[in-house]
Amino acid sequence: MPTPIATAVPVTHAGILGLGVYRPRRVVPNSEIVEAIESSDEWIRTRSGIAARHWAEPDETIVSMSVAAARDALTASGVSAEQIDAVVLATSSQMVLGPSAGAVVATELGMHDTAAFDISAGCAGFCYALADAANLVRSGQARQVLVIGVERLSDLLDTTDRGCAFIFADGAGAVVVGPAEQEGIGPVAWGSDGARTSAIKQDKDFLEYFAEVAAAEASGGTSQRPYIRMNGTEVFRWAVTFLEKACRDALEQAGLTAQDLDAFVPHQANIRITDALVRTLGLPESVAVARDIIETGNTSAASIPMAMEQLVRSGGANPGDTALLLGFGAGLAYAGQVVHLPPIA
């Protein structure tokens, strides 16, 4: 008979213990970008709801922004860096393949021999990472997990692209996930549709780019670096027709209805998508709805923790409130879960 293998001791419930964010110093209002895309402040606000966004300065890196957000999350949670067993970092804009940003962040925070890894699920990345962290805690594999969503999407922007230049932005958000007396992170409703990769994608891979650079050097011509591109119409149609099901699945798995919510925190992709989901779900007027996109733009994997923080900081919602999170974007991928909102630093 095979020798029995010992298993980790499971924990019954997991919750979000604390939240921190980092917003880059540079604020970029619409007036700074309209000339390059031949647009106007009114057009941008009408199409997206965005009035301004934050773009990182050279010293505000994926790692430095993550570290700053993580330190505030640790403070808010009352958990020390030494007590973190794993770091799960979600990003789509880390410009190197290795080492993982999560591993570097762990070291910068003073952690030693801590499991750390990155995941890439586009704008759904934070919710994917949160689900992973909750399962690590519930299984007993980790006691406390640091989850980070971070982006420097300005590195991938063609500032003359009318479809993208006004949308994407930079920032970081982090939470500490750990044991809780009652369930604080509901089951995740998630999925993807790889047939829709053209909706949001990098317009060329790096092998293609390197070949173009070599050809340009040989001929004396020029080459164009890879940029992020988006078919906004396709994304909008998918979001307003498909994501109702994702929201209702997350609510059903948590044993709740829309009327039980205190807050709704969707990915900050477009304020028209948010408003359409609010109407479709029939959310009561008492439900606080995150609209951080107005001053922050679309920060992809960072948008949900940043929007949670803004909602709590502004008094629109309170720690302990029941909130539906919904991430969606490149992939196309989505993930959502019901949570109890955490305290902030």
Is there a single domain that holds both residue 175 and residue 234? Answer: no
DSSP conformation letters of 220-241: T-------EEE-HHHHHHHHHH
Is there a single domain that holds both residue 266 and residue 171? Answer: no
Average pLDDT, integer, range 290-303: 98
| pLDDT, tens digit, 9 for 90 and up, residues 138-147 | 999 999 999 9
Query: Any residues with CB less than 8 A from the CB of 211 and at least 6 apart, and which?
Result: none
Is there a single domain that holds both residue 158 and residue 243? Answer: no
* pLDDT confidence of residue 9: 76
* pLDDT confidence of residue 172: 99
Q: How many CA atoms lie within 13 A of 170 on its CB side?
A: 27
In this predicted structure, the answer to whether residue 271 has a pLDDT above a threshold of 80 is yes
- Please identify, among 145, 179, 213, the residue that sits at the C-terminal boundary of a domain: 179
Would 203 be classed as within a structural domain?
Answer: no
Q: How many CA atoms lie within 13 A of 203 on its CB side?
A: 13
In this predicted structure, the answer to whether residue 296 has a pLDDT above a threshold of 90 is yes
Would 208 be classed as within a structural domain?
Answer: no
Average pLDDT, integer, range 315-342: 96
Residues 195, 206: Cα–Cα separation, whole Å:
21
Would 2 be classed as within a structural domain?
Answer: no
* pLDDT confidence of residue 103: 98
Residues 292, 289: Cα–Cα separation, whole Å:
9
Would 265 be classed as within a structural domain?
Answer: yes
| pLDDT, tens digit, 9 for 90 and up, residues 1-35 | 677 777 787 888 999 999 999 999 999 999 999 99
Is there a single domain that holds both residue 175 and residue 58? Answer: yes
Is there a single domain that holds both residue 22 and residue 162? Answer: yes
In this predicted structure, the answer to whether residue 344 has a pLDDT above a threshold of 90 is yes
Total structural domains within the chain: 2
Would 276 be classed as within a structural domain?
Answer: yes
Higher pLDDT, 331 or 116: 116
| pLDDT, tens digit, 9 for 90 and up, residues 30-71 | 999 999 999 999 999 999 999 999 999 999 999 999 999 999
Is there a single domain that holds both residue 169 and residue 234? Answer: no
List residues bridging with 189 in a β-sheet: 336
Q: Tell me, what DSSP letter sits at residue 344?
A: B
Give residue 160's pLDDT band: very low, low, confident or very high (50, 70, 90): very high
Is there a single domain that holds both residue 165 and residue 241? Answer: no
Is there a single domain that holds both residue 84 and residue 161? Answer: yes
Would 218 be classed as within a structural domain?
Answer: no
Give residue 308's pLDDT band: very low, low, confident or very high (50, 70, 90): very high
Residues 287, 285: Cα–Cα separation, whole Å:
5
Average pLDDT, integer, range 190-202: 90
Coil, strand or helix at 1: coil
- Whether the link from the prior residue into 261 is cis, omega within 30° of 0, is no
Residues 292, 293, 295, CA angle at the centre, nearest 5°?
80
Residue 120, both tokens: 């890439």
- Please identify, among 148, 179, 210, the residue that sits at the C-terminal boundary of a domain: 179
Is there a single domain that holds both residue 128 and residue 257? Answer: no
Coil, strand or helix at 213: helix
Q: Letter for the amino acid at 205? A: D
What residues are labeled active site? 123, 267, 298
Domain that holds residue 139: 14-179
Q: What is the CATH number of the domain that holds 259?
A: 3.40.47.10
Would 263 be classed as within a structural domain?
Answer: yes
Is there a single domain that holds both residue 175 and residue 233? Answer: no
List residues bridging with 288 in a β-sheet: 263
Residues 232, 237, 240, CA angle at the centre, nearest 5°?
120
Is there a single domain that holds both residue 19 and residue 162? Answer: yes
Would 207 be classed as within a structural domain?
Answer: no
Is there a single domain that holds both residue 164 and residue 234? Answer: no
* pLDDT confidence of residue 126: 98
